[in-house]
Homo-oligomer: A and B are copies of this chain.
Amino acid sequence: MSSARPTDDTTPLGILCGGGSIPVAVADAVIKQGRAVVMFPLIGWADPQAMARYAHHWIHVGKVGEFTRLARAAGCREIVLVGTLLRPSLKQVRLDWATVRMFPHIARSFRGGDNHLLSGVARIFERQGFLLRGAHEVAPEILIHEGALGSKAPSARDEADIARGLAVLAATGEFDIGQAAVVANRNIIALEAAEGTDRMLDRVAALRRDGRMRVPEGVGVLVKAAKPNQDHRFDLPAIGPSTVEGVARAGLAGIAIVAGEAIIAEPQQVAKRADDLNVFVAGVRRQP
């Protein structure tokens, strides 16, 4: 569902930044291609220290009019929305009139699951004259590729767990929920819904601590994919060093992600952390 039009590299790319290290990874990849970037860090999510290196304007969630004015003044025509953005509490939202005028659209977007919500957000930006791009379009090198990232690769048993995980994710895909599962010895230990991958890994660690997992340490795989029909312009799953640490704490063998369907911020650090903790990180193919 990505746009077919090539990106326009004569204008600076506007990056609306949530939390985590991915906004910076995207910015650096774009700059390396010779294109300018202007960061629009969201107050309460983006990391102030990381922003210092770039042209940036802090924005409150909810201020569509202010963002539009600043982004136009900076010459931006294409924007990318990237980084973690846990559902903001209403206390953190600041409104301006442009936002208020969009309330009917926003209200409509809040019905249905996450895909629906985010498609609504895309339409809101497009009504303001911007083109919403995906991080995978402007910086394809941040997507995970097929094969092992560090020095450890999945074993035959891990491959069986990966196949099982991909199968259960295919079954739940149509329900517009988090696409991650933990599988150990072909048993499905955990399925992600609204809680997110980190909390799911914490749960697996707790099950292991409480003796409620029958498999030894080092058995089991976190399997991740993008939602089917997900608009890849936002909300592609992302993994970083902290995901690797969560997998190690849960006593799992590694992480398998459908190649091209997740952002991998800081690949060198992820590979190093994976090697240090003796877990694998592998891009895999969806089964036919």
Contacts and interface: CB of A to CB of B under 8 A. Distances in A.
Contacts of A168: 172, 175
Nearest to A185: B111
A112 interface: yes
A189 B199 CA distance: 13
A153 B77 CA distance: 53
Contacts of A156: none
A213 interface: yes
B194 A193 contact: no
Interface string A173-216: 01111000110011111111111000100010001000111100
B190 A195 contact: yes
A110 interface: yes
B186 A193 contact: no
B191 A193 contact: yes
A199 B193 contact: no
Given A193-B189, A193-B190, A194-B212, A174 B171 contact: yes
A86 interface: yes
Interface of A: 86-87, 89, 110-113, 164, 167-168, 171-172, 174-177, 181-182, 185-195, 199, 203, 207, 211-214
6 contacts: A86-B212, A111-B185, A164-B175, A171-B175, A189-B193, A190-B193
